[in-house]
Structure 1
């Protein structure tokens, strides 16, 4: 009978603490760093035990430094997994291939994008700097796409479109679609962060701030989504799963820009963000569409709009239908159907306003296209006078 090779399966019967201790690799910031693949709960349970020190061929000065930290400050623990562990992670490699990331983006950086600042406060190992860069890139690419594709959009619709494309809820849903789960367990393809306590107030939330009603004040004082900016976030108190997941997507965008350059970042944005369908016409909300249409025609020197009945049926029945058209001279601006003449006129006015605001040029060029090699000379894009009613 062949003897069993215990070293191949013995790790599956060990206790969680024993299995974790066998994988611990401690490294310092200058060269090697003390890091653990154990979960925060396991780390707290074993904080009283002597940390494991892997034998490595290091010089005597570095070994003394390791021993000094090991015995003088045993409470120091780094929740981030070792940097070298990213190369042997099959889940990271699968995530890299699934997102079709450029080959110049190493797995070590991809693993760093999963580490939130609430889990590891060291800026050299968390994704805080990558999040800042990725947020600026997403905001720039999204805003130039909206302003150049739909130059007549009202400001409120632009804010809503920005939030739909690159808002925290959309980014968190995108991270979930990518197969990245949010958990406090480090390593693999899990977003590592310190979860906020249930029922606690989200740090830096703007719920207590009174929203501004005037759009002009939103431009100068609010963020890119038209929301009041939140204060500094205390990462030590923890973050929500939505915030950690959205920061991961921003960090991936920043990492691609740093390692693969602007063309790869722009291609990643087009494939994963602009490819999503957004029905911008559903974001409009008019309180008095007939009045807005009258003022628009007066500003553009059009003839005053006139509502006319195109067709009707069942006027004396319980469910009549009236098809109303809005005409400016011989041109029909919009058409709508309703159960009354007033409802049909309002819907026709809304259709006319949407036809004006949703205008899009035939050939759209964005300013970032001038950074490409061999780009054609720049032609100014259409700049509209803006919305009529603010």
Structure 2
């Protein structure tokens, strides 16, 4: 067995070098970061502490009483006080996340999060802002649809309006914006939470209008209601007007979220102006993709196409087989075209001649109803300071009445 010979440098490994500690190191390492033991004080610190006077006891008691009164007053409010909005990190983050105008105060944004069911005082809830925002959303969405697609049927316009500004869409937008819900409303709640009175479990929601509408002969339930009458008597979605909602019993999460989004739109219009409100609508609503061609539901497309050609003085549509394959097989394919004279109106493929004819008629009808002008101007564009003279938009005769 060989002996282990320690080299000269091994002494530095076996015996650690003594570290010189100056007064600064002693002061730093001597402190104990605990709440029970005070830090190590030097002679100079002890001398300075003798001449320092502690805070008066009256001031400390006054601060404690003030804080307790503040907490007690917040518990009495149905919604957070106005001055609490400046101390909410959630509100500041929401304001920056939505890229809201700087002229929109943080206090107004906090008001948009207070539903009428949480605070019945109209000076502190979002009822008035939501009413203004509801009208703005309906107006901007309607003019966009009618000017971009002037030949759309009314039923498709109602469905597109619901897809752009309906309550389900607005509730989904509120979730996408990262708005959290408060469990219960109150003055001590963070102003950055959506506050509303929830419905009790098991509450039955009304399916129809809550009061008689302005429609004549409303009592006649078996009478047919035309689509045209919905423009005069129903809302922008073609549904019966429900009148003033009573929020004393509470609202659903979908209703509260939709009211919040409408209130944000109204607040932007009031504080930042029309241009900022329209820009907000284009960035958050029109930017959402909507395939309008999927909203059509034709019951008899061949008959509708025949009536349309007769109204527009076109030649009667005729279905012709363009190509086919596997007629006598298990999976035949027929490509059928609809022709009006020498013009092909539509084309469709199906497993039978009848199916191909129906799909070709649907394609022809969609090609007619989805017509869009090259340059689209909406009436609200005339409110710009340097707007060019107005040119009337295309006005169609309307949908085919069968």
Q: Which runs of 4+ in 1 moved over 6 A?
A: 207-212
Provide the rounded CA distance (Å) in 1 between the counterparts of 2:308 and 2:234.
Answer: 28
- 1:310 and 1:324 in contact (8 A); partners too: yes
Equivalent residue pairs, number: 331
Tell me, what secondary structure is at the counterpart of 1:235?
Answer: coil
Q: Alpha carbons of 1:375 and 1:389: their partners in 2 closer, same or farther (altered >3 Å)?
A: same
Q: Which residue of 1 aligns with 2:136?
A: 137
Provide the rounded CA distance (Å) in 2 between the counterparts of 1:24 and 1:95.
Answer: 30
2:237 is equivalent to residue 192 of structure 1: no
Q: Which residue of 2 aligns with 1:44?
A: none
Provide the rounded CA distance (Å) in 2 between the counterparts of 1:160 and 1:122.
Answer: 35
- 1:293 and 1:305 in contact (8 A); partners too: yes
2:111 is equivalent to residue 108 of structure 1: no
- 1:182 and 1:245 in contact (8 A); partners too: no
Q: Which residue of 1 aligns with 2:92?
A: 93
Aligned pairs for 1:239-250 within 5 A: 239-250=251-262
Tell me, what secondary structure is at the counterpart of 1:215?
Answer: coil
Displacement of 1:219 in angstroms is 1.5
Q: Alpha carbons of 1:121 and 1:248: their partners in 2 closer, same or farther (altered >3 Å)?
A: same
Displacement of 1:229 in angstroms is 1.1
Displacement of 1:217 in angstroms is 2.1
Q: Which residue of 1 aligns with 2:239?
A: 227
Q: Which residue of 2 aligns with 1:328?
A: 340
Displacement of 1:202 in angstroms is 3.0
Provide the rounded CA distance (Å) in 2 between the counterparts of 1:199 and 1:206.
Answer: 20
Provide the rounded CA distance (Å) in 2 between the counterparts of 1:174 and 1:295.
Answer: 41
Q: Alpha carbons of 1:298 and 1:87: their partners in 2 closer, same or farther (altered >3 Å)?
A: same
Provide the rounded CA distance (Å) in 1 between the counterparts of 2:340 and 2:295.
Answer: 26
Q: Which residue of 2 aligns with 1:252?
A: 264
- 1:159 and 1:225 in contact (8 A); partners too: yes
Match of residue 293, structure 2, among 281, 295, 299 = 281
Q: Alpha carbons of 1:232 and 1:24: their partners in 2 closer, same or farther (altered >3 Å)?
A: farther
Provide the rounded CA distance (Å) in 2 between the counterparts of 1:23 and 1:314.
Answer: 86
Q: Which residue of 2 aligns with 1:201?
A: 204
- 1:202 and 1:240 in contact (8 A); partners too: no
Provide the rounded CA distance (Å) in 1 between the counterparts of 2:200 and 2:69.
Answer: 28
Provide the rounded CA distance (Å) in 2 between the counterparts of 1:283 and 1:325.
Answer: 23
Structure 1's unaligned 5+ residue stretches are 7-20, 27-33, 39-76
Aligned pairs for 1:227-376 within 5 A: 227-376=239-388
Deviations 1:91-120 (A, max 9, x none): 111100110100000100000000000000
Provide the rounded CA distance (Å) in 1 between the counterparts of 2:379 and 2:398.
Answer: 20
- 2:163 and 2:169 in contact (8 A); partners too: yes
Structure 2's unaligned 5+ residue stretches are 1-30, 37-65, 213-220
Tell me, what secondary structure is at the counterpart of 2:320?
Answer: strand
Q: Which residue of 2 aligns with 1:148?
A: 147
Cα RMSD of the aligned pairs, angstroms, is: 2.3
- 2:91 and 2:191 in contact (8 A); partners too: yes
Displacement of 1:205 in angstroms is 5.2
Displacement of 1:3 in angstroms is 7.2
Provide the rounded CA distance (Å) in 2 between the counterparts of 1:319 and 1:207.
Answer: 53
TM norm structure 1: 0.80
Provide the rounded CA distance (Å) in 1 between the counterparts of 2:211 and 2:335.
Answer: 46
Provide the rounded CA distance (Å) in 2 between the counterparts of 1:371 and 1:332.
Answer: 42
- 2:211 and 2:243 in contact (8 A); partners too: no
Provide the rounded CA distance (Å) in 1 between the counterparts of 2:100 and 2:91.
Answer: 11
